[in-house]
Chains A and B, each alone.
Chain A
Amino acid sequence: MTWTRETLRAEIIQLLEGHTAGEVKIEESSHLVADLSLDSLGVMEIVADMEDKFDLSIPDDMLREVDTVADVVKAIELRLKNEGRLSG
């Protein structure tokens, strides 16, 4: 499946919303730990879901690079782009 930046962003936010039970408004600037209340177990669960959704493998060291929702979008975008699965 091919993604555009917009569909990707919307999909990631939707996925995160599923894990926070709609209690918080998620924006690109939201911090995963501070704003979305994710702990390490919650983050690993989301990583697994994203791997399934985007058919990607997300290495552990990526976790050291992400802080906000925008960082997550960027990291996934880059990986999809490398595989030629990002259009636009």
Chain B
Amino acid sequence: MTAVWKARTVAQAIEDAAASTKTGYRFIEESSENEPFFTHGGIERASARIGGALQALGLQKGERVALILPDNADFIFAFLGAIRAGIVPVPIYPPTGLGKLTGYLENTLHIVAKSGARVLLTSAEIKRVLGTIQAQAPELQQIVAVEGIRGSREELKPVKVELDDVCFLQFTSGSTSRPKGVVLTHANLAANVRGIVELGLAVRESVDTGVSWLPLYHDMGLIGFVIAPLYYVNTITFLPPLLFLKRPVRWLETITRHRGNVSFGPNFAYALCVKRIREQEMAGLDLSTWRVAGCGAEPIRADNLRAFAEKFAPVGFDEKAFVCSYGMAESTLAVSFSALGTGLQTDVVDGETLWKEGKAVPAPADSDGAASLVQCGSAFEGHEIAVFASDDAESARPLGDREVGELRLRGPSVTPGYFSDPDLTQEAFAGGWLRTGDLGYLAEGKVYICGRSKEVIIVNGRNYYPQDLEWEASRVSGVRKGNVIAFGTMKPHNDRERVVIVFETPALDEQEKQAVKGEVRRVVQQAMGLTVDDVVAVGAGVLPKTSSGKLQRSKARELYENGELLIRSSSRDGDRLDAAKEFAKSQINYFRHAIFRGRGG
């Protein structure tokens, strides 16, 4: 551990780490046995090349470059190269396949246009489908294929990068409709990295090693495993995200082989390991080096983590390694971690009082209607978490211990705001506190999350969290797991909130659908004592989701209220045609550009 923490820019951290010859980043590739390893010195040089190439394209300090790079190594060098040149990278997720191209292009265009990026750096393959974007984003001057600049000999011209400069824009894929560009400064990153690495996880400088399959266009993968390890000079082994989804055991094998100490995943990743890893695949695993098994980025289900611990204890997994975390892009990445070495801690409270009165009153675990909430630790030093009533616009009166309200944050990790969006920025703060939109409570300084405040369904003065209704409905056979959305609506009579559950089902005929719908009603009624006003069955692919697969409840409500949900066909339909159209358009645009360039000399 470093004795005294001194805030440094990310650019400085890259240069400082370059002296290390033993540590660095390793990239596992699916199709090859090779595991290319770049020392921190090698990373410094590779990033300088791309930074120099971006400067040669005419990009100046403070200008934006959009990055759509599916290869982890390409992405990291370009991302760090831009930062060293003072250019602001804007990471965008790559197309995933299985259709949905139209939605992908819309989202990408929105991000590119909103960020005002002048250059979009991508792979040659993806470039082919992005042609139309250039015509529609006024400030975008060129789409560059990374293959053409990998071997660049342009030198990085020194640029003074300071702590208050913008480091990069992080577009969120929350449950709202459009991604918002969170501005992160070097000072934000330095403060959050300190919270994560030094205060939260007590990472051993140059000693601890990490393993990550997390996508790099998402904050947990990017800040947690690309930026933070530069500050503490740790070796990280990266796996392609799709490889993990295909063969979850590869995550644990990599931890075994490289003796990983720190690795994170959302709740679903742990559940996937329990479901998909077979007995015979466990033989060679040794998870005894895994000191921090972090869980965050989506609501944590205690049952999932317990099942993981039970299954993998025989191969050395220590349940005390679980670190439950709470975080959000607007607070750089992490807000709080449960204390090291304590494992999964839950608070069992009376569900009835929690929902009806907004108070978390401890209850015996086996009592009727007991709700179990996962503890996510307390704020980092220099940061504050407090709970306020949602309508407390000035954050004037913090609520007391165990009172449920909106969680709000203050401190050096909090973003200055959304990029070129003063209205959204103003809405996001209340009396100097960042409004998280998450409902929760504090008990003895520890955070517990109940759900998103805008999505809470209120019936007869009692609050229901949509996650709980969805969880119950998912258990019904014939309902596609993870494809259920619950919401409240005042429509059509504006007299009271009506509860609606929409789920995707493979059932085809009407009779089967009716049976499943009836069962959903019954199960929710039984578990929550709540009468559902309307249950809607739709086909696969109909429910709106964000790029990272999060359910979009507000969007679903909107579709329902406008009567569009039932007539909405699967978003996959017609994508074939769309792809062909987009390709044709991109070709036309390409020729148009070539012609103009020819004329202009």
Instruction: List the interface of chain A (C-beta within 8 A of B).
Output: 20, 23-24, 31-41, 43-45, 47-48, 57, 59-61, 63-64, 66-67
Q: A43-B98, A47-B246, A63-B98 are in contact. List 18 more A-B contacts (CB 8 A).
A: A23-B506, A23-B507, A24-B508, A31-B570, A31-B572, A33-B540, A34-B540, A34-B570, A36-B506, A37-B480, A39-B482, A40-B96, A48-B247, A57-B30, A60-B30, A61-B97, A63-B97, A64-B97
B95 contacts partner chain A, Cβ-Cβ < 8 Å = yes
Which 8 A-B pairs have CB atoms at the shortest separation, nearest pair first? A63-B97, A64-B97, A37-B540, A37-B506, A44-B245, A34-B570, A44-B246, A33-B572
**Nearest chain B CB to A75 CB, angstrom units:** 12
B319 contacts partner chain A, Cβ-Cβ < 8 Å = no
Q: Are B540 and A40 in contact (CB under 8 A)?
A: no
B272 contacts partner chain A, Cβ-Cβ < 8 Å = yes
Q: Are B506 and A48 in contact (CB under 8 A)?
A: no
Output the residue of A31, A44, A63 with the most chain B CB within 10 A: A44
B31, B242, B541: the one contacting A34 at CB < 8 Å is B541
**Nearest chain B CB to A54 CB, angstrom units:** 15
How does the 8 Å CB contact mask read for B537-577 relative to A, with 1 for contact and 0 for none?
A: 00111000000010000000000000000000010110110
Tell me if B's interface is mostly helix, strand, loop or mixed.
loop
Task: Report the interface size for chain B: residues with CB under 8 A from the other chain.
Answer: 33
Q: Are B97 and A60 in contact (CB under 8 A)?
A: yes
Q: Are A34 and B245 in contact (CB under 8 A)?
A: no
Query: Which residues of B lie under 8 Å from residue A33 when comparing CB positions?
Result: 98-99, 540-541, 570, 572
Query: Which residues of A lie under 8 Å from residue B31 when comparing CB positions?
Result: 57, 59
A66 to B575, CA, bound (A): 11
Q: Are B504 and A37 in contact (CB under 8 A)?
A: yes
Query: Which residues of B lie under 8 Å from residue A20 when comparing CB positions?
Result: 506
Q: Are B276 and A45 in contact (CB under 8 A)?
A: yes
Q: Are B480 and A34 in contact (CB under 8 A)?
A: no
A40 to B214, CA, bound (A): 16
A32 to B540, CA, bound (A): 10
A45 to B573, CA, bound (A): 23
How does the 8 Å CB contact mask read for B455-496 relative to A, with 1 for contact and 0 for none?
A: 000000000000000000000001010110000000000000
Output the residue of A23, A24, A37, A47 with the most chain B CB within 10 A: A37
Instruction: List the interface of chain B (C-beta within 8 A of A).
Output: 30-31, 95-99, 125, 240, 242, 245-247, 272, 276, 478, 480, 482-483, 504-508, 539-541, 549, 570, 572-573, 575-576
A67 to B577, CA, bound (A): 12
**Nearest chain B CB to A80 CB, angstrom units:** 18
| A39 with B576, Cβ < 8 A, contacts A23-B478, A24-B506 known | no
**Nearest chain A CB to B514 CB, angstrom units:** 16
Which residue of A is nearest B507, CB measured? Answer: A23
A44 to B276, CA, bound (A): 11
Query: Which residues of A lie under 8 Å from residue B570 when comparing CB positions?
Result: 31, 33-34
A31 to B95, CA, bound (A): 19
Which residue of B is nearest A60, CB measured? Answer: B242
A79 to B505, CA, bound (A): 33
Query: Which residues of A lie under 8 Å from residue B247 when comparing CB positions?
Result: 48
**Nearest chain A CB to B126 CB, angstrom units:** 10
Query: Which residues of A lie under 8 Å from residue B482 when comparing CB positions?
Result: 39
**Nearest chain B CB to A53 CB, angstrom units:** 14
A39 to B97, CA, bound (A): 11
**Nearest chain B CB to A69 CB, angstrom units:** 14
A63 to B505, CA, bound (A): 23
Query: Which residues of A lie under 8 Å from residue B98 when comparing CB positions?
Result: 32-33, 40, 43, 63-64, 66-67
Cβ contacts A to B, 13 pairs, < 8 Å = A23-B478, A24-B506, A24-B508, A34-B573, A39-B540, A41-B245, A43-B98, A47-B246, A57-B30, A61-B97, A63-B97, A64-B97, A67-B575
A35 to B96, CA, bound (A): 19
Query: Which residues of A lie under 8 Å from residue B576 when comparing CB positions?
Result: 67
Q: Are A44 and B242 in contact (CB under 8 A)?
A: yes
Query: Which residues of B lie under 8 Å from residue A24 when comparing CB positions?
Result: 506, 508
Q: Are B480 and A39 in contact (CB under 8 A)?
A: yes
Q: Are B246 and A48 in contact (CB under 8 A)?
A: yes
| A34 with B508, Cβ < 8 A, contacts A40-B96, A48-B246, A57-B31 known | no
**Nearest chain A CB to B516 CB, angstrom units:** 11
Which residue of A is nearest B549, CB measured? Answer: A40
Query: Which residues of B lie under 8 Å from residue A44 when comparing CB positions?
Result: 242, 245-246
Q: Are B242 and A39 in contact (CB under 8 A)?
A: no
Query: Which residues of B lie under 8 Å from residue A41 when comparing CB positions?
Result: 245, 272
Query: Which residues of A lie under 8 Å from residue B506 when comparing CB positions?
Result: 20, 23-24, 35-37
A9 to B482, CA, bound (A): 30
Query: Which residues of B lie under 8 Å from residue A36 when comparing CB positions?
Result: 506, 540
**Nearest chain A CB to B264 CB, angstrom units:** 18
Q: Are A34 and B572 in contact (CB under 8 A)?
A: yes
**Nearest chain A CB to B486 CB, angstrom units:** 18
| A34 with B272, Cβ < 8 A, contacts A39-B483, A40-B549 known | no
Q: Are B507 and A34 in contact (CB under 8 A)?
A: no
A47 to B30, CA, bound (A): 13
A23, A34, A48: the one contacting B539 at CB < 8 Å is A34
Which residue of B is nearest A31, CB measured? Answer: B572
Which residue of A is nearest B242, CB measured? Answer: A60
Query: Which residues of B lie under 8 Å from residue A45 when comparing CB positions?
Result: 246, 276
